[in-house]
Amino acid sequence: MKICNLNNKLLLVIASLLLLFSKNACSQDKKGGLINMVYSSDAHYGLTRPQFRGDTAVNSHVVNAAMIRQINQIPMLHLPGDGGVNAGHNAGPVDYMIQTGDICNRMEIPIQSAAASWAQFNTDYIGGLKLKGHNGKPAKLLLAPGNHDISNAIGYSKPMMPLTDPTAMVKIYNLMLKPVKPMTNEAYDFEKDKINYSFNMKGIHMMFITLWPDSAERIWMEKDLDTVDPKTPVIIFTHDQPTCEAKHFTNPLPPHQMTTANQFQNLVAENYKEGVVAAKDDGATNIEQRGFVQFLKKHDNIKAYFHGNSNWNEFYTYKGPDNDVNLPVFRVDSPMKGKYSAKDETLLSFQLITIDAEKKEMTVRECLWNTTPGDAHQKTVVGKSATLSIRVN
């Protein structure tokens, strides 16, 4: 009888262990479908913030390093019960760190060179980032260039010192495209050496393009999407907002030069089509946008668009100039040039993108990282959030 009781107890212990193992395995399987990405843009090395954590005229190196320290704490960030992906749990491992350009501020005198700015970025983002992904490996850094990075490489209508410095473009090119023969500053040619790349991430296609999907970029995008199953969700990361800026197009008048009078910056290959008047920040881009809208209609598996350039946290829907398309768009803040956070440092934010690859659901959360500037041990606070399905019907 005693032997029988002992055997029964042993069987109960084994059963309990098997049940616990089964629950853990199921939990790990569930977590295995999660992808976490931290997203920021417009680091603008070379600038200073008027105020930051009790100091004035604070160098971008200091501000970005402070943000990276906060980002390194994201795995322990408890997510609110907002109904989004992974709600009510700690964020957990972070697989990717994304930065979509204006890494270096334009070198208008007296701003430092792109080489000096890149060295600081390298220290903060490449050396300072301590995140690890679900695979246990360091989080992968994903970069796209911004208009300031490109202007440093090709020149600008106002004086710069030096006149050109393609360091940031070359470094991004080598890090992201990984050419067999590394690109050099001397060999770099912006007209042909675009920084376009993509990859598949647990059944989701991630696409990074140079500045804005103009007609030239869309040639590369078409070829890339030809390799993608139409049922695969596509997410675009780039620098400019879907409406773009008139001044970022190429001057349509031969010899297509950049001048302080016409204000064109020749950053995208497409010639400006709205007329020959000088480009302005609020200049029309309806004709250019319609080309992009037709592209979106052709590829209805494009489910989201992320951008910087004009910086604050915003989740919105791009409807096109004729209100005939619906593209979910996520605009991210800048640590140095946020529309609102530049004046109120408690609004400084980056975004945490969490995707359930099995359910094809994505939640984007605003992460306010400086709500109590006087507290050296402050915690990041989750602000707004948006959840959407990225499943292709």
Contact present, 191 and 219 (Cβ < 8 Å): no
Handedness of CA 222, 228, 233, 235 (dihedral sign): negative
Q: Options 1.20.120, 3.60.21, 1.10.287, 1.10.540; which CATH number does 33-191+310-389 get? A: 3.60.21
Please name the residue ranges forming H helices in the chain.
2-31, 60-71, 114-121, 147-154, 167-177, 215-225, 286-298
pLDDT in tens, the chain (393 residues): 444 444 555 445 444 444 443 443 333 334 569 999 999 999 999 999 999 999 999 999 999 999 999 999 999 999 999 999 999 999 999 999 999 999 999 999 999 999 999 999 999 999 999 999 999 999 999 999 999 999 999 999 999 999 999 999 999 999 999 999 999 999 999 999 999 999 999 999 999 999 999 999 999 999 999 999 999 999 999 999 999 999 999 999 999 999 988 889 999 999 999 876 556 656 899 999 999 999 999 999 999 999 999 999 999 999 999 999 999 999 999 999 999 999 999 999 999 999 999 999 999 999 999 999 989 789 999 999 999 999 999
Tokens of 324: 């005939």
Please tell me the predicted confidence (pLDDT) of residue 276. Answer: 61
Report how far residue 365's alpha carbon sits from residue 222's, in angstroms, rounded to the nearest whole number. Answer: 30
pLDDT value at residue 283: 82
Report in angstroms the alpha-carbon separations of 392 from 8, 304, 353, 386.
Answer: 52, 12, 19, 18
Q: What confidence score (pLDDT) does residue 13 get?
A: 43
**Confidence (pLDDT) at 275:** 74
**92 CB-near residues (< 8 Å, 6+ apart):** 31, 34, 36, 75, 86, 134
CB atoms under 10 Å from CB of 317, counted, come to 9
| Calpha distance 142→333 (Å, rounded) | 17
Which candidate, 43, 47, 36, 35, places its Cα nearest to that of 348? 43
What is the structure's pLDDT at 279?
61
Domain ranges of the chain: 33-191+310-389
